Chains A and B, each alone.
Chain A
């Protein structure tokens, strides 16, 4: 049985390990005060959809992870792309282990195999609704979480 908590925690661990050190990240379920910072990321586990399958088969779920990257305008014009690329590489075609959060032994209960990641630039859309200029890129990747056999 794959718990949602285990999936979200494992995705968060992967992001924490792969995104640049020191980058402020709004983890799923957390809020971040962004007034005083120039760049940050938001990580979402958008969905974990059930898959039609036999009851005795290892459980599978189709999941979607979205990483939003925000950078306030500065001299580093490509900084937002740099961070988005780091987020893309963290998940694109990667296979990560699922570990139950409370398990001290770190027993692997499943894996998530991510497929190709998509990147979209929402900066222009953002400018239409926000007063402060902000670069905004979105990295979205789908994958399959599967219970270990």
Chain B
């Protein structure tokens, strides 16, 4: 059985962002704070029988997309969009900046989306996992100054009911 009892923590994670190009452009987020958070919601309709739960029942509600967020430290905001030879930077990737070549994973005319792949390695080396969020779109991007480091805070949604979790 390829399972391990060692709890994972932020040291074990790695977030990679990829776009819709063939082959995809990828960016490993190397300076993230290790605070990736996502929430999978399930909507349920409670049907009560004349106010009674005991005689009532539950029905499935509408699908709900996955909410996710993470924070990363700044180095520079733009690289490839300023100079083609420079490395792609996080901010310009999330913003689909002109000159970066970052392409949406959704079709033309739709909201721009990316794929987030979060890998959590097993410290015991037997049961690493990847968590793939498809069709991730940006809701807010908050940039803030700080004493130790300036931060980029991403908040958005994956247009799927749950990420795909698979064994490495």
Contacts and interface: CB of A to CB of B under 8 A. Distances in A.
Given A53-B34, A54-B32, A144-B148, A149 B11 contact: no
Interface string A128-144: 00000000000000001
A125 interface: no
Q: How large is the interface on A (under 10, 10 to 19, 20 to 34, 35 or more residues)?
A: 10 to 19
A46 B150 CA distance: 26
Nearest to B147: A115
Contacts of A144: 148
A149 B30 contact: yes
B47 interface: no
Contact of B13 (A54, A58, A115): A54
A54 B70 CA distance: 13
Interface in B1-50: 10-14, 28, 30-32, 34
Question: Majority SS of interface residues in chain A?
Answer: loop
A23 B32 CA distance: 43
A149 B75 contact: yes
Contacts of A115: 147
A11 to B, nearest CB: 20
Contacts of B148: 144
A75 interface: no
Nearest to B87: A149
Contacts of A54: 10-14, 30, 32, 34
A52 B30 contact: no
Contact of A57 (B31, B121, B147): B31
Contact of A55 (B12, B31, B147): B12
Given A58-B30, A144-B148, A53 B11 contact: yes
Given A144-B148, A149-B75, A55 B30 contact: no
23 contacts: A52-B11, A52-B34, A53-B10, A53-B11, A53-B34, A54-B11, A54-B12, A54-B14, A54-B30, A54-B32, A55-B11, A55-B121, A56-B14, A56-B28, A56-B30, A57-B30, A57-B31, A57-B32, A58-B31, A115-B147, A144-B148, A149-B30, A149-B75
Top 10 nearest A-B pairs (CB, nearest first) are A55-B11, A56-B14, A57-B30, A54-B34, A54-B11, A54-B13, A54-B10, A57-B31, A58-B30, A54-B14
